Amino acid sequence: MALSESEILRVLDMFDRSSWSEMLLQSGSMKLLISKTGRVQSQPPTATALQPAPAAAPVPAASAAPPAAAAAVPAIDPCWIAVKAPMLGHFYAAPKPGAPPFVTLGQMVTAEDTIAILEVMKLMNHVKAGVAGKIARIAVADGDLVEFEQALIYIQPA
């Protein structure tokens, strides 16, 4: 599907207002790699299969949160598998507003189960688990804008 000029301008406006320094947008055979510095600092990312989360993955903590709240977030187990965003978009945990979420903590899933939706330019893309196991952590909030290959959900393999 080709992007129209107005859609590309909308994406560029969103990128300009974001805190990102680089972005890669792919649609069909079109690739758009942009950088706020004028030079691309890294190689363009490539699509990869699901991979285990690194042992020393950072745990996000709110800057204004008290130390007890930050300590309550469990560390990421190295055996967990991160389901990563296949594209930039808005993360939705449920099929529609007010509906129950696709998955909850502790729920068992199969590799083919839909665990979330990523909305990109009004297109809803279903994200599959990719591995059978138990939902160990949901790393993003409903409605969050996520980046390409950002960890969305961690699964403890069965």
Instruction: Give the residues of the chain that fall short of pLDDT 50.
Output: 41-71
Q: What is the pLDDT of residue 91?
A: 95
Q: What is the pLDDT of residue 118?
A: 94
75-157 carries CATH number 3.50.50.60: no
CA angle 83, 53, 89 (to 5 degrees): 35
Instruction: Look at residues 91, 122, 87, 145 and name the one whose alpha carbon lies nearest to residue 6.
Output: 122
DSSP 8-state secondary structure symbol assigned to residue 23: E
Instruction: Look at residues 75, 85, 47, 49 and name the one whose alpha carbon lies nearest to residue 136.
Output: 75
Report the Cα 85 to chain-centroid distance in Å: 4
For the chain, the structural domain boundaries read 5-35, 75-157
Q: What is the pLDDT of residue 10?
A: 79
Rg, the chain, Cα only: 17
Q: What is the pLDDT of residue 58?
A: 45
